[in-house]
Amino acid sequence: MARFPLFSAAIVAAVVLALPPLAGNAGAQLRWHPCGDTAQSGRCGTLSVQEDRAKPLGRRIDVALAVLPATGTARTDDPLLILLGGPGDSPLGKAAALARQFADINVDRDVILVDQRGTGRSSPLACFFGSDDDLQSYMNEFLPLSGVRECLRTLRREAALGRYRTRDFIADLEELRVALGVARWNLHGVSYGTRVALQYMARHPDRVRSAILMAPVPPELVMPVSFGEDADRALRMLAADCRADSACAAAFPRFADEADSVARRLERAPAAARVSHPVTGAPVRLIVTRGTFGEVMRAAMYTPQGARSLPLMMHEAYDGDYTAVAAAALRRQRGMARAGWAGLYLAVTCIEDVARADTADAFARNRNTILGDARARQHIGACEGWPAQPDGNEWPASHRATPPTLVVVGENDPATPPRWAELTMKHLVNGRLVLVPQGGHGFAGMEGGGGDCLQQLQVAFVETANPASLDTACVSSMRRLPFVTKR
């Protein structure tokens, strides 16, 4: 994750064209403004909402949004709402990339981007950790407890941290739908964004025409309890793929054993590596811990692109060269530490996940995995002092959502593997599950499928809102790009 920038007027002006007048009565709560230079005709907006809806005279916060108007001549009245993951990812910070990603759907219908309350431009609960003057400060912990405590003290002076739950965001979205005059919209959720979509469908089924859930997070998934087990499964599958590939098998015949050996070695003592400073380019010595190593392993398997390079990275570490591991850890953890996402991440997950978790069980289930228990301990420890009432994730286990839904999951996903997608299907009345061979939490680094198979599939589904009619044959021929066996 790159640092969430201030909403770039130049970026959004490049992708948002002239907006037609919107139906509905936006009132004084929805304010429109140009996205860029005043010579540009694009508009973005903010919706003023109550931070705590139980206190109608209390603090109001702004939820930022942008509408990418349909580029074709035949415009439908059911837009596509984008719900990203995290929690903490900012659609507005990725407006240009999302405009390209959804260009085909954007021909016939508007695409709506909304920064969830607490992130991006929507009254962010910004927490920043580490310093470029001390790169090691990015390496030691995923959620440094001292930094979390300091941020918590700052945020609680102004924000009602218990009112940044998924259900609060859903209420924001419903107010926005009414303000825009949209009768029904289509939902596109990724990872945590699927939790939002599922709960929105539970509360407002008549307001959803269709939903696409990529890497779904069903109500049964409690972060971070299953992280280690799910990462282990992905590693085993990747090792099997390596053994079945002649080039990978020849170069790394003991990939899984080497990864396990490196983990045990780092458990005994951290290792050092030299990398280039991301700003100055000067060589810097960094220490790689067992916890950092586990995060690198898991993060690399998020996409097929990262997974295809993992056997080589592990082999180098096994031979004592931790350069690639340290560089990967620095890129990831520096980017996340500078992104400001952690405030919302904790406000949501401490209430909706950690409050439901059995702490001892979480530590035990992660301890002997490739990820180790450092992430679970940091996450659970970071929730001390944050609101912890377990009432944010309110989808009852017996509920079944009625809107037509397409569920897509990667076979090798280390975060939300197929077992979670299968549980998701039990909550859907009209759903279809598509399993992508060798896919991860995302799908960058794949080939085959006759062009952009998943893109075509999503376009067809949004067009028809009929999961049964989809031709998914192209998915079966998708594969990870060849393993990287040398630098």
pLDDT tens digits, residue range 339-378?
A: 888 999 999 999 999 998 999 999 999 999 999 999 999 9
Average pLDDT, integer, range 177-204: 96
The CB-based long-range contact list for 71-78 (8 Å cut-off, 24+ gap) reads 71/17, 71/103, 71/106, 71/107, 72/107, 72/108, 74/108, 75/20, 75/108, 75/109, 75/110, 76/108, 76/109, 77/182, 77/183, 78/109, 78/182, 78/183, 78/184, 78/185, 78/186, 78/209
Query: Strand 283-288 to strand 271-276: parallel, antiparallel, or no bridges (unpaired)?
Result: antiparallel
* Band (391; pLDDT cuts 50, 70, 90): low
> Where is 213: in which H helix or E strand?
strand 208-214
Average pLDDT, integer, range 38-64: 82
Q: Which of 90, 88, 59, 86 is nearest to 159 (CA)?
A: 59
Contacts of 346 (CB under 8 A, 6+ apart): 127, 143, 148, 382, 383, 386
Q: Is the pLDDT of residue 146 over 50?
A: yes
Average pLDDT, integer, range 139-160: 91
pTM here? 0.91
Q: Is the pLDDT of residue 121 over 60?
A: yes
Looking at per-residue pLDDT, the higher value among 26 and 460 belongs to 460
Q: Which of 212, 222, 114 is nearest to 170 (CA)?
A: 114
Is residue 29 within 8 A of residue 48, CB to CB? The reply is yes
The Cα 329–Cα 313 span in angstroms is: 12
Among the ranges given (131-140, 144-153, 380-389, 468-477), the one the predictor scored with the smallest mean pLDDT: 380-389
